[in-house]
A and B are shown apart, each in its own frame.
Chain A
Amino acid sequence: MTRTSAPGVRVKDLTVVYKTPAGELPALGGVSLSLAPGTITGIVGESGSGKSTLALSLLNAVQPPGRIKEGSVEIDGLGNVVELTGEELRRARGRQVGYVFQAAQNSLNPLKTVGKQLLDLGRSHDFDDLPALLKDARALLGRMGLDGGRVLDSYQHELSGGMRQRVGIMFALVLNAHLVVLDEPTTALDMITQAAILKIVRDVHHERGLTTLIITHDMGVAAEVTDSLAVMYGGRVVEHGPTTEVLGSPRHPYTKGLIRAIPRLSGDIDEARALPGRPPTLGTIPKQGCVFRERCPMRIAVCDTVDPEPVTRDARTVACHAVGRPATPIVPKEYV
């Protein structure tokens, strides 16, 4: 069943809810997104916008109290992941979808050496040829600039942050998965290490012919490595398209605001502008209407009642009532 080529992924109308004292609240509100085979897709969004939830959904691994309420996740060669259960699901994880954890810093069992955990992984997936697995792992680590032998013999606490992250990537790839999901792979790292990891992600992606999903809240990181970029806000994908285009000519007011809020190293520093208001949390996401309208400079009457449908035009998808329409913006309150 193992594929040797990059799979495509199609997420359709995915709704994920978390059970809270206030009832079941949607962390993802009908997200549709497709990853073209062999591309690196980035998802950017602020904290709580549902990025990790979406990433976990790709492995049908949303943790209680959350659950996938509706929608589907089709992965080439696997079918609808949402319907997978039990052993089937477990085997898909690791084998077909590699996952690099949000906190890959701590994604290793502190009591076992990396090598032993690798062997556990091999056994879990019924690998007969464990020495070959070790060899692959050493090669992968070597490819990422590490001394494979030494790393396999090390415990987590003996590795630096950057090394752990590389080990995390190795674990995601060593079973020859062709879909790799990286959740905030560089968040806790400093700049130089981050640059190195991003380079590795990009290189490995090309060498192995993967489909890669990389999740980050740092626009710069996404811009650096991705081919296509999706922007999330309040559990919705508000804009999706080729990276250079999304960055170069953002269409959704949120994307625009985000990009404008990034200070630059060159050019006029005062061009940077803060986005007013604050991002919603699970409890404050509006039940109806556009989730961004409170902060939107282009808000129109319909935004209050109707959730804008994503509209795809020239390979770019935008979910906004105001895009491409003449608008009478309602000026939002400054702060709060």
Chain B
Amino acid sequence: MITASGITKTYKQRGNMLGARAVPALRGVDFTIEKGGAVTFIGESGCGKTTLGRIVAGLETYDSGDIVIDGTPMSSLKPRHRQPFFRRIQLIHQDPYSALNPTRTIHQTLAAPLALRAKQTGRGKAWMEERARELLALVGIDPGYVLPRYPHQLSGGMRQRVVIARALTVDPEVLVADESVSMIDVSLRLGVLALLKDLRERLDVSVLFITHDIATARYIGGDGELYVIYRGQVVESGPTERVISGPVHPYTQSLLSAIPVLHGVERPGPERVVPTEALNEAHSDTGCLFARRCPFRTDRCEAELPALVSDGEQAHACLHPQRRNVIPVEAVA
């Protein structure tokens, strides 16, 4: 079980002698993933989703807050002792094209972490080879075909499966999937999503899912938690289905309203919310972060930073919370 509390991260953009520009990417994020559970983060581009994923996977440092992995707070360990903990959390990159080394065959790519694993557990080469095949079979590709090939010889879907297989070599407990299907051909996307879903069930790994696309979030983590993140802050969270069908925060509502409608199959939600202007990093940091774009803002919103309040299941950070029905509904044929 992994708990993150109060994670903040500010990037210092390289400046010159007279100082650097600070970009707050995360402003205190808390969440918990249970074993076998699913947590989804959605938000606009630049909201800090990737940053969060990388922090959780131990690939990025954070400024304050703490991550507790199986009861061990990472802040209590020296950085080099954290690695074994973070290894249990594997990141699946968004881009399967860059996530595999183009100069190495799939066999080589899988062999390296397996060799490490074999060394740690005192197993031999035969085990490694067998395990590679086993894992590839597990993610649904033909090992005989894939192993001797280079990444460029594989389709996007296959590549993403290889990436997942590689993550599985170290028997992770959590997979962090950052936009893991956005670069894959439409017809293959669902296959990979189904695989992740399947792995959750079969291997009992938890999935931290990061996406733009709420529908895929629902597909994988329909039974999990959904966090809506805006400019580094969680503005709404709760059980996925519940947030989708009853969003309270205007930002969540905007996100859901923006989902294209499959005319002919669906019709638009009745209460669509459209932000008054585009996202602008330079917007003021005082008051509600969404205030400038919020169609429902009041003067209070510009002055007061709303805290995340929970009704036990669903939490939101809005001064004027109101449930709205925004998602498209099935058209009656």
Contacts and interface: CB of A to CB of B under 8 A. Distances in A.
A336 B218 contact: no
Nearest to B277: A145
Interface string B216-248: 101100100000000000000000000011000
Contacts of A161: 45
Interface of A: 46-47, 160-163, 189-196, 198, 217-221, 223-224, 243-248, 254, 257-259, 261-267, 269, 272-276, 278-279, 295, 334-336
Interface stretch (B7-15, B62-70, B102-110, B182-190): B182-190
Nearest to B142: A336
B158 A247 contact: no
A259 B275 contact: no
Given A46-B187, A279-B155, A269 B260 contact: no
Interface in B136-156: 140-142, 145, 155-156
Given A218-B186, A278-B188, A224 B44 contact: no
Contact of B141 (A261, A262, A336): A336
Contacts of A160: 278-280
Contact of A192 (B158, B218, B254): B254
Interface stretch (B20-28, B126-134, B262-270, B301-309): B262-270
A218 B187 CA distance: 11
List 3 tightest A-B contacts by C-beta distance, closest first: A220-B260, A244-B264, A247-B264
Nearest to A45: B186
B259 interface: yes
B193 A263 contact: yes
B20 to A, nearest CB: 19
Contacts of A272: 190, 219
B160 to A, nearest CB: 12
Max chain B C-beta neighbours (<10 A), residue from A46, A160, A163, A220: A220
Instruction: Assign chain B's interface to a size class.
Output: 35 or more
B74 interface: no
Contacts of A269: 218-219, 222
A238 B141 CA distance: 28
Given A217-B186, A248-B265, A275-B190, A191 B215 contact: no
Given A247-B263, A275-B190, A279-B155, A265 B244 contact: yes
A257 B265 contact: no
A278 B157 contact: yes
A258 B186 contact: yes
Nearest to B188: A278
Contacts of A219: 186, 262
A279 B264 CA distance: 26
A194 B254 CA distance: 12
Nearest to A248: B264
B26 to A, nearest CB: 18
Interface stretch (B33-41, B82-90, B310-318, B324-332): B324-332
